[in-house]
């Protein structure tokens, strides 16, 4: 008779392999932009110090990757289903919680996204994107004053001027927004063109936004994978240049 523990490990591997295949079938391929970008997001997971079996760590990673591919294409129902499956498998994994919140943010489910980012921070205060995206959520919710303390908590000081440029503009503090944006451009014009385009788009400066999107394309900026779904670019959607740019990226219009 087979050892029960060994049989349990075998059954776990079979179940994980089944879901990994389903994840790949849902996403079909990792979406590759014509300019050479591809979506890759792999992280491990633990349950309060108890290491998950390797098949399930791999499964959660594959589910998040497949969901990310679907989300960038605007297939939100599919992305949400896969990310919730990853979260349900490992509900104490901050990466899965943060990943779920990111999809909710792109879908415009801002209150739920904020709640899940806060949940991710409770699970792991070092999750990278949470404070940054929370500041953007508060701006989009019409609460830019609440964005300011979140920006102060962003781990990387070099990112803060980009976020301040958005928040100050929403607060009607144009001069401070201009100063923050100028500082950000001076230091990051060769590496963060996409973020500069986001600021201009949010400020409804469409010509400048498209100029910096083209620079981002020339720089092979990986942020371009978010172009179709980024709420900070919403002001561009009515401009025919936006659909043309999506085609250039080989993203669906």
Residues in Cβ contact with 93 at an 8 Å cutoff, skipping those fewer than 6 apart: 45, 46, 47, 60, 86, 87, 123
Query: Is the residue at 88 inside a domain?
Result: yes
User: What does the alpha-carbon distance between residue 81 and residue 66 come to, in Å, rounded to a whole number?
Assistant: 11
Q: How many helices (H) and strands (E) does the chain have?
A: 12, 2
pTM score of the predicted model: 0.76
Q: Any idea what the Cα angle at residue 160 is, between residues 201 and 209, rounded to 5°?
A: 15
| 134 in any annotated domain | no
Instruction: Enumerate the β-bridge partners of residue 166.
Output: none
Single out the residue of 234, 237, 213 nearest to residue 225, CA to CA. Answer: 213
* Gap between the Cα atoms of 102 and 115, Å rounded: 11
pLDDT per residue as tens digits for the range 101-116: 999 999 999 999 999 9
Contact 26, 84 (CB under 8 A): no
Give the per-residue pLDDT at 58.
67
> Is 84 inside a domain boundary?
yes
Whether residue 248 is contained in a domain is answered as no
Question: What phi and psi values does residue 32 have, to the nearest 5 degrees?
Answer: -115, 125
Cα(64)–Cα(40) distance, integer angstroms:
9
Burial class (CB in 10 A: 0-12, 13-18, 19+), 41: middle
pLDDT in the model for residue 116: 96
Q: How many domains does the chain fold into?
A: 1
Is 97 contained in some domain? yes
| Helix 144-152, helix 160-170: angle, nearest 10 | 160
For 70, the enclosing helix (H) or strand (E) is helix 54-72
- 168 close to 180: Cβ distance less than 8 angstroms: yes
Residue 137 inside a domain? The answer is no
Give the chain's residues under pLDDT 50: 1-2, 4-53
Q: Residue 117: is it exposed, middle or buried by C-beta count within 10 angstroms (0-12/13-18/19+)?
A: buried
Tell me the CA distances in angstroms from 222 to 35, 45, 202, one per residue in order: 10, 25, 19
Q: Which tens digits make up the pLDDT trace of 181-238?
A: 999 999 999 999 999 999 999 999 999 999 999 999 999 999 999 999 999 999 999 9
Specify whether the CB–CB gap between 46 and 93 falls below 8 A: yes
- Show the domain range for 36: 13-110
Amino acid 45: pLDDT:
34
The pLDDT of residue 57: 62
pLDDT of residue 167: 98
Residue 55 covered by a domain: yes
User: For position 99, which CATH number holds?
Assistant: 1.25.40
Tell me the chain's radius of gyration from C-alpha atoms.
20
Q: State how far the Cα of 224 lies from the Cα of 221, in Å rounded to an integer.
A: 6
* CA–CA gap between residue 44 and residue 11 (Å, rounded): 21
In a domain? residue 51: yes
């Amino acid at each position: 008779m087979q050892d029960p523990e060994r049989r349990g490990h075998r059954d776990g591997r079979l179940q994980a392999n089944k879901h990994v295949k389903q994840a790949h079938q849902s996403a079909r391929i990792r979406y590759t932009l014509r300019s050479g970008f591809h979506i890759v997001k792999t992280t491990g997971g633990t349950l309060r110090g108890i290491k998950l079996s390797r098949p399930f760590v791999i499964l959660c990673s594959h589910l998040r990757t497949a969901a990310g591919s679907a989300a960038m294409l605007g297939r939100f129902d599919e992305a949400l289903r896969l990310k919730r499956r990853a979260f349900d498998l490992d509900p104490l994994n901050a990466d899965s919680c943060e990943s779920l919140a990111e999809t909710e943010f792109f879908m415009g489910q801002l209150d739920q996204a904020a709640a899940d980012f806060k949940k991710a921070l409770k699970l792991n205060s070092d999750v990278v994107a949470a404070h940054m995206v929370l500041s953007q959520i508060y701006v989009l919710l019409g609460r830019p004053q609440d964005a300011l303390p979140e920006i102060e908590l962003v781990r990387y000081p070099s990112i803060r001027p980009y976020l301040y440029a958005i928040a100050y503009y929403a607060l009607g503090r144009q001069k401070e927004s201009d100063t923050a944006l100028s500082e950000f451009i001076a230091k990051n014009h060769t590496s963060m063109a996409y973020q500069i385009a986001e600021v201009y788009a949010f400020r409804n400066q469409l010509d400048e936004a498209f100029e910096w999107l083209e620079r981002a394309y020339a720089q092979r900026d990986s942020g371009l994978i978010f172009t179709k779904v980024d709420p900070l670019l919403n002001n561009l959607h009515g401009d025919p240049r936006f659909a043309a740019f999506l085609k250039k990226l080989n993203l669906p219009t």
